[in-house]
């Protein structure tokens, strides 16, 4: 399995987007995304029941990064990078 040997989530900038580490303050946005039927249409995962579930998910994502198991970015528009509009990353990569 692929392991990451970096100490912090690298920030990546494109013409329109910023990929960055996820913060606990992103929990409301993550909750919205994970409870939106259109977003979750092809993603077979349990939905969070509340903002606290999303906070725990972000904490788990960050803890798993620290152990080298996952690398997941929050996606924000370059005009407002603190606004998370999605996430993407590597996990269970063999």
Tell me the pLDDT of the chain (94 aa) as tens digits. Answer: 666 678 899 999 999 999 999 999 999 999 999 999 999 999 888 899 999 999 999 999 999 888 888 899 999 999 999 999 999 998 776 6
Residues 6+ apart with CB under 8 A from 32: none
How far is it, in rounded angstroms, from Cα 74 to Cα 59?
13
How far is it, in rounded angstroms, from Cα 27 to Cα 57?
8
How far is it, in rounded angstroms, from Cα 56 to Cα 93?
22
């Amino acid at each position: 399995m692929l392991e990451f040997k970096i100490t912090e989530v690298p920030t990546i900038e494109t013409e329109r987007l910023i990929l960055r580490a996820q913060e606990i303050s992103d929990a409301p946005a993550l909750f919205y995304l994970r409870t939106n039927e259109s977003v979750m249409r092809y993603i077979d995962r349990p939905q969070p029941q509340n903002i606290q579930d999303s906070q725990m998910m972000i904490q788990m994502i960050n803890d798993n990064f620290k152990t080298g198991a996952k690398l997941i970015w929050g996606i924000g528009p370059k005009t407002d990078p603190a606004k998370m509009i999605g996430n993407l990353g590597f996990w269970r990569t063999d």
